[in-house]
Structure 1
Amino acid sequence: MEDKNGSANGPVGRMDAALDRRGFTTRGLRVRAGVMAVAAVGLVAGLGVAGWALLADDMTNRFGPDSVCDEVVSSRAVNEALGSGKVSAEPYEGNVSRGTAVCTVQVAGGMFGDDRNIRVSLGESKDVFHLPIPPGARTFAASANGGAVGAVRGDEAWALLPEGCPNGLWARVTAYSGKDPDPLKLARLAVSAADRIADQRGCGKAPLPVLHELAPAATERELDGDAVCGLPGVSVQRSPDKRYREAVTVGSDPLWTCEITPEDAHGSTSSLVIATESRLRPDATDRDTRPAFGRARWVGSLPRDEIVVTCHGRPVYFRIGTIRHLGHLFSTSDEAWKQFLTAGGQAIGCEPIL
């Protein structure tokens, strides 16, 4: 049998009994108790709403800045690369767009403490040797991306400033988020920063489009002694007690690279590089440079390290990194250069160099 609301066993009766036990025996005291209960419920609800608002503020950039680092870094691009969260930047002295400062950007992780950081800076390459291209990097070329040029590997990406800006200037972004970001998204952040730096410097013929394609990383294989790095005509002296590996990129735009590494743990890596993108470094064709081989001329910051050749009216740069480590593979360093210039020039469709 159900209890009636007004009976001693009903809800009202049980509430009266509970209030009597707590000393609320008069109507006035009971009214005050009711008001206090409603206020307590309202306070808890208000704290919950306020807490959620604070949490939501940290978990998104809804109320945060559209850009940081003096407008060099887009908050949206940062969120796309590192994930959602409120974006802020640490104070710094200098000017990022002029290369006199490094800006550290933070994406807040809210109450969970999952903060992520990224550093943004402007770099400059005086020659191909100083380009930040570590082994295993994935490049992106102007021909496939509407003018965007650069590379990405792991937690770091860089992109050249747009055409119309000084050659050899690039924006670099380095993430410190515990795990490597998506390479395409990190590269897009570098392109965005390069575009914004160009805008602040007042250079660049047109804004860079959104990056949409990365080249595959170099593939490693056993060194082919008859066609080193896939270049027919580049052959080496074989040594039965020495074995090598080569890691070769797929295309030549913006540059082609081959890393040659001995299989034993004591050897040093050497590299062959052909830079077909003229914006990778300052133009060296109008300098008073020393003749090298045929039409080629020495231009590197290190002795006998880098060569420039004009191919179809554009400068192309050939580089052999740490050539002394290849001394026992070729009869002479001059022979190594001549083979590389001949085969490499043919591979990229350049006019005869020697």
Structure 2
Amino acid sequence: MPVRHVLVVDDSKSARLMLRKMLQGFGMTVDTVDSAEEALSYLRDQHPDAIFMDHTMPCMDGLTAVRQIKNSPATASIPVAMYTSKDEPSYQDEAQAAGAVGVLSKPAIPETLGAILERFNVLFDAANLPPPSSPEPVTATPTAEGMTADQVGAIALEKAEQVFYEAIETQVLPLINDVVAKLRQDVETSQQETCARIAGRICAEQLAAWQPPEPREVQPSEAALRTQMLPLMEQRLETYRREARADFEELAREVAGQVCQHQLHDLSNRLVRQLSLRFAEATQKAGLDAREAAENVAREMVSRATTAAEAAATQAAVSQADAAAAAAEQTTRQLWADAQRDLQRRIHLAAGWAAAAGVGASVLAYVLR
């Protein structure tokens, strides 16, 4: 069963009249209100088959009103379409999320309106809603008796506006719809022509700027490459040899110097330890000799009984002690002289080893050339 009774909600009187005229052309009964609040109040007593809801209105906007309609069990089954100039994809998704079946863009044209009505019919049949009886409200015609001049003027003004808008609906709106449809067709045609002209100009500019590719250079043969590469490879190899030889000589000198330094350090440490040991042995021996001489003198002094003999013995003991001390000093000096000669001999030997190591490093570097 097709949709027969429609409610139009829009704060623009001209938009309401234009859509009402188009819907009446489809054989429908149309009621109009100018705000979302009035639409909700209307739905408390009336039950239209479908609703066209504007988005931008004072106080409550259209999407909020649609959500309230869909949240009410009494009106949730009524299909609603947004009637607005917003046609962005994001807004269409937002409208569908709120519960609207689609968006009718302003100004409406018969083709898009017919598509929306077809969707209304499908939803209306699926809901199996009986067509509500919507008798035309009987409006009592006021009489001039008992009315003031202001009331009569208001009634006359309302009648004049009604005649004026009916004239617009019957004469102006069809012309506007035809003009809008013609303008849309002209715009689409001009866009196609403009796009074709721009594409042709771009192609012509690219063809004019195109240049044939430069011929590639002839690649040399394998024999020519070998002839050119061999001298370069020999030059690079000779350079590498010189650099490697210089690096090896430097490394050999550095290693020889480190070895000589290490050997001299070890030799000097051994010499110092040996000299210290020998000096300590010589000192200890001299002390033992002096102690033994003193003990011998004391024993001789005890063995003698007379004073003269004691004096002589004492003088002899002193002389023997002096001789022993002189002997010890002579022995120490002899040991120190021997140690000095031994140290000089070892230093000369170390210097000879160092010179031999340097000569060996030089010979090795020369051989490696």
Shared fold (TM-score greater than 0.5)? no
User: When the two structures are superposed, what TM-score results if normalisation uses the length of structure 1?
Assistant: 0.18
More strand by share: 1
Q: Which has the larger radius of gyration?
A: 2
User: When the two structures are superposed, what TM-score results if normalisation uses the length of structure 2?
Assistant: 0.17
